[in-house]
Amino acid sequence: MRARTAIVAGAVALVLAGCGAAEPGSGVTGTVTVFAAASLTGSFDRIGRDFEAAHPGSTVVFNFAGSSALATQITEGAPADVFASAAPQNMTGVDSDGTPVVFARNQLVVAVPAGNPEGVRSLADLTRPGLKVALCAEQVPCGSAARRALDVAGVTLTPVTLETDVRGALAKVRLGEVDAALVYRTDTRAAASDVTTVEFPESARAVNDYPIAALADAPNPAAARAFVAHVRSAGSQSVLTEAGFQTP
């Protein structure tokens, strides 16, 4: 579990437009534990800091991992207030406080080493003999999206590794262990100059919806509902768009 213990002090200019967001100073305090898809790491770190600044006395603690693993942890009793998944199917079996709502969407790209030394231009290029490719396992959202995209393209490939979350697949490229990986557009944007992004048209048929919900057994239900509203606010939506997410 990844935790941030420092409470950001001082006021931050934050737009909380619409979506029923709790107003700063509304009495939301204490720890809010958020289980979130690994692909949300950078954006939610920033959104969490904004939440703490808007609600003095609150602390956001994150657990970032693959959505299917997080869903299993929640159903097995791990204490959590909010679940943000990279796909709706991972909400099945999770007892939420109200209906989960889609707050963002994400699209796949091919990540290759900076400069694209192998000249990858399409999904079909990934089937070249000797080219090493990393995919996410099909049990996690980035893996199921990759399967849909490959099926649409009519491409069959054998990856050298199947990762449990998208950060693992991208790390293989950054470490030079593979020549390419199918990851989210937001991941290559965050990796900046470490990798080159190759877009492919079939990814438009494999866009993942990201739902979020406060959990029925949330230890801090008021903070859970406030955090969900905060993620859906105009300010947080701007953070997500800047990172490369699409709006619902």
Ranges of the chain whose pLDDT falls below 70: 1-26
188 and 119 in a common domain: yes
pTM of the model: 0.82
Within-domain flag for 4: no
| 58 labelled binding-site residue | no
Q: For residue 8, what pLDDT is reported?
A: 30
Same domain, 116 and 100: no
Q: Are residues 153 and 171 in the same domain?
A: yes
**CATH number of the domain that 185 lies in?**
3.40.190.10
- State how far the Cα of 244 lies from the Cα of 238, in Å rounded to an integer: 10
Provide the pLDDT for residue 211: 97
Output the CA torsion sign for 243, 143, 209, 109.
positive
Q: Are residues 235 and 189 in the same domain?
A: no
Q: Based on the number of CB atoms within 10 Å of its own CB, is 223 exposed (0-12), middle (13-18) or buried (19 or more)?
A: buried
Same domain for 156 and 93: no
Q: Is 67 annotated as a binding residue?
A: yes
pLDDT for residue 20: 41
CA–CA separation, 18 and 94 (whole Å) = 26
Split into its structural domains, the chain has a count of 2
Question: Is 14 part of any domain?
Answer: no
Domain of residue 229, residue span: 30-105+209-243
Q: Is 39 annotated as a binding residue?
A: yes
Same domain, 123 and 101: no
Are residues 112 and 201 both part of a single domain? yes
- 184 in a known ligand binding site: yes
Tell me, yes or no, whether 16 lies in a domain: no
Largest CA distance in the chain: 60
Mind listing the pLDDT tens digit for each residue in 51-88? 999 999 999 999 999 899 999 999 999 999 999 999 99
Residues 177 and 54 both lie in one domain: no
Report how far residue 165's alpha carbon sits from residue 142's, in angstroms, rounded to the nearest whole number.
7
